[in-house]
Amino acid sequence: MSIRTGNKDVSQSGNKTDKRIETALDFVRDLCKILSGDPSDAPATDQLVDEINQHVKKLRNHTHKHGAGVSGDPEIDQQGTRLWNICTRLRRDCEPTNKRLKRLYLHGRVLAFHLLVVANPIKTSKAQDLIYVVKLALKTARDCVASSEFELATGVLQKAADYKSDLQDLASGLLKEEVDECNCLEVEYLIMRTALSWADNHVDVAEHMYTKAERLRQYLTPDYAEKLADVLYEIGKSLASRNDFPLAKKWLQRANEIINSPNLEHLSREGLELRLAILQALVSALLATGASADLDKATKLVEYIESEMGNRPVVSLLKLEVLRKTPAEIFDDDAYADVLRRLLKDVNSSDAGFKLIIHHIRKLHDKSPGAACAVLDDFTLSLRGVDENVWMEKAVITRMWMITSQRDTNETIDTVRGVLSNLTRPLSAEAAVAAQALIWKKLESNYSQRQYDIAENWCRLSLHHIFQNCGPGNVAKLERKLLLCALARNEMGAAISVVQNLSKQSWREPMTAYLAFKVAIRCEDRNLAEQCIHIIGQAPEHVDFLGACIAESHKKGDIFCAIAALKKLQENYEYKDPSPIHLPALFRCLIRLLNILAEKPDERQGDFISDLCRQFDIVVYALERQSNDPQTPKLFTIDELEWFSRNAYNLALKHTTSWDLRCVVRLLTACVNIINHFPSDMRSQVEVTLKALFSRFIIASALVSFARTQDNVKEQLEDYQLMRKHVSAFDRLVPEYLSRLDEQSREDMVRKHATLLTFDFEAAVALGQWDDLGGIVQRAVPCRNAVAFQTMADSLLRAQVPGQVLYSTMRKLVNEIWDLESFDAVKLAKYTRCLFQATLTLDDTLAMKLLQEACRKARELHESDARWPEEELEWMAATAFNHAIDLYGAYERDRAKEWGSTAINLAHYCPDKSFERMLQDKFMRLNFEDDERNRGR
């Protein structure tokens, strides 16, 4: 409010003899300049306020006796008025949040008021001036109280009291209108004193001031009635906030009486709003006391307000408060719900309106959960057309909170699902997660109590499309719980349906795949089981889950799935070091299970046998990969090595005739390779070595069998080459352990050795490794096995062998056969004839040596009881003589002569002497002398 200007005669101005006033005026002039500019640039606002307060204190203590040139000075009035108007304008335009500037302007107005008091002294001013100062005082005090500047308000009201007292002295000379105005100012003064006393917590003083104001109620104009009622309302509201409801009721009733004293048509708009606020506060205070009489009063007040205002939202809110305060035994939940539904239509779409509805729905929920849920469902559906999706989300979350607070039934869950199905917009991620968190607690509670059907219903509610933004992790968790419920109820149809509809994210998580595996095992769906194992194997933390799959397979007796899970573990860890699993144990499990399958006649038996062999190959590979450092712990213990070697050996022997022989070879090869890793200081070293020798013997025998029947030359040579390695290993081991065997075992081992050497000889011939033949024959000598040498000789004669190799090797064989007691003249003659026949076409020089050797052997036999077979002697002698004739025809007369004479020498040992004479006659007909003369010429 601005104040009057120019009411003083400037000619009355004089010298200002009071330094306090002079100083204050100088300060005001400077202050006006500062405030007339940009007040926000004013330096040290708090410092300005302190300076203002100093001048206020000085002026407050100034005596108001009129002095020449001081009190009543028009310049003082002008400066005070100017400062007042500037501060009023700036305070009105100031931002409400800028409390420092608002405080500066308030203190500036207080300073301006005290200057105007100086300019309008009590004893020398007219009644109108006194009334003017009292009005300024009351206005200033009201602002000070509103700003909690109680000390300033007290000083201002003290000045008002002084001027008011002087006005009473002048009352006899005042007009009736002025008297009425003075009475109204008295009432307002008492109102301000009441408010200030209450603010200073002087309840007794406030009561006293109200009592004095009550006596002047007849002078209250509508404007002053509103002011007094406002003060009383604030006091009552403050008491209510302190929970002092009986006293709050008292002050609010006073406020209600005051505001209703004028006719309603005389109240301003603000007055009517204040009246409604007082009624609301009074109803709340009456209800808060808890007294039944006060409840009745509150009910009648609400009915009165409803009759006056109709079904406005404020009336509905008051009715809700009254209904809520009724005792529980007579609480009318239907009436409360009806009022709420009416309120849904009346409340505007705003945050405040939404919060108001939710608040009262929650209050109803405390009394009647079912009624509250029904109202909230209606409210939620009414929000479908509202643009603000946040309200919808909060309503849904509240509904989830309500249903999770109730007793669990499928009916209540289905009701909520029906409401959600009518909503089209999905909730935000944050809201969806919040709603699902509430549901999850109930879900877990029911699952732990084995209420699987209800738990499943909670799951399906939580997976409603409205929660689709909850994130793939939450969806996977809920789908797993759905699977668990189906498994717990042993409803495989439902479980399969869940598995078929799993999200991609769910499939990526090993826990989901494991649960799906359990379903697959129970449904005997091995394709699904293998798919689950594959998914689990790709996860970082798969060991435990694969172990669980193995246990589940074992529990259900499904060997195939157990093998698949074990293989996945093997696939992931057989080439890793260190490994989180004990590989030997894994290998043993796989071998045992595969052996069970391999023993059963089946169309896939061959695959199982091959897989079993592969497991033993993997064991060997793992052994070869382990460190040779003595300080490094070994992967396999001695007992484990013994287990693997024994089982490979026994399986091979058991199924030598029933399984593919190559699988037997693989098993025995694994056996000998495992034995190679046994420590050298084992107690059972002899037994282990014998097992290795027998294994190599069978391997070599099988390989030579493969080579003999093999059509593919390359594969045949590979079999021979591999067989030679096993023979070589046998050859290295056997001499050392022969002495440790008993006589029978030793003889058997020697026979096996001889047999292997014949295989070795055969392989060397097939591979064309001619340089090795002599060594093989030499290694066979200790065996003293004529059959072995005969077999070697047969192999040699059947092959296309270089002449020198054939001669030297065959000669050794023949000599060894000759030295053996069991060798007779017939066999000797046969081998000599075969060797002679083979070498004659390749190298007749070597053939000549054989012929000469035959002559010597025939002579030795002739001198003994044995005889060289006649047909063999005749054949060799005839063949040699024919070769001599060929040489004679080729004009190689010396060689022909040598061959002819040697043939006659061999024929000499034939029993039929006519054959020798025939050769001699034919030899004599050859003219070697003419040939010699011709060469001499």
Q: Is residue 494 part of a domain?
A: no
How high is the pLDDT of residue 319?
78
Q: Is residue 873 part of a domain?
A: yes
How high is the pLDDT of residue 11?
36
Q: Among residues 506, 439, 432, 512, which one has the least CA distance to residue 475?
A: 506
How high is the pLDDT of residue 68?
33
Six-digit token pair at 357? 């509805």
What would you report as the CA-atom Rg of the chain, rounded to the nearest whole angstrom?
62
Tell me the one-letter amino acid at 511: M
Six-digit token pair at 482? 């759905």
Q: Among residues 27, 162, 7, which one has the least CA distance to residue 107?
A: 27
Element (H, E) at 306: helix 292-309
- Ranges under pLDDT 50 in the chain: 5-17, 63-71, 933-934, 936-937
Supply the range of the domain harboring residue 847. Answer: 827-937
Six-digit token pair at 935? 């060469």
Percent of residues in the chain assigned helix, strand, coil, to nearest 5: 80, 0, 20
Report d(CA 645, CA 654) in Å as an integer.
14
How high is the pLDDT of residue 66?
39
- The whole-chain average pLDDT of the chain stands at 82
Per-residue 3-state assignment (H helix, E strand, C coil) for 33-52: HHHHCCHHHCCCHHHHHHHH
pTM beyond cutoff 0.75? no
Considering its fold, how many domains does the chain have in total? 1
Report d(CA 591, CA 599) in Å as an integer.
12
Q: Among residues 778, 837, 776, 775, which one has the least CA distance to residue 803?
A: 837
**pLDDT tens-digit series, residues 10-24:** 333 433 446 778 888
How high is the pLDDT of residue 64?
44
How high is the pLDDT of residue 15?
37
Report d(CA 466, CA 402) in Å as an integer.
18
Who's near 346: CB < 8 A, 6+ residues apart? 311, 312, 313, 316
How high is the pLDDT of residue 647?
94
Q: Do residues 221 and 271 lie in contact, with contact meaning Cβ atoms separated by under 8 Å?
A: no
Q: In the block, which residue shows the tokens 């909520």?
A: 416
With b meaning 16 or more CB within 10 Å and e meaning fewer, what string describes 67-104?
beebbbbbebbbbbbbbbbbbbebbeebeeeeeebbbb
Q: Is residue 831 part of a domain?
A: yes
Tell me the one-letter amino acid at 434: A
Report d(CA 70, CA 480) in Å as an integer.
93
How high is the pLDDT of residue 69?
36
Q: Is 72 left (phi over 0), alpha (psi -120 to 50) or beta?
A: left
Six-digit token pair at 338? 């009806």
Who's near 845: CB < 8 A, 6+ residues apart? none
Q: Is residue 635 part of a domain?
A: no
How high is the pLDDT of residue 821?
56
How high is the pLDDT of residue 575?
57
Q: In the block, which residue shows the tokens 């002079």?
A: 22
How high is the pLDDT of residue 842?
75
Q: Is residue 801 part of a domain?
A: no
Q: Is residue 19 part of a domain?
A: no
How high is the pLDDT of residue 43?
54
Six-digit token pair at 823? 């060798």
Q: Is residue 853 part of a domain?
A: yes
Per-residue 3-state assignment (H helix, E strand, C coil) for 118-139: HHCCCCCCCHHHHHHHHHHHHH
Report d(CA 282, CA 872) in Å as an integer.
148
Q: Is residue 454 part of a domain?
A: no
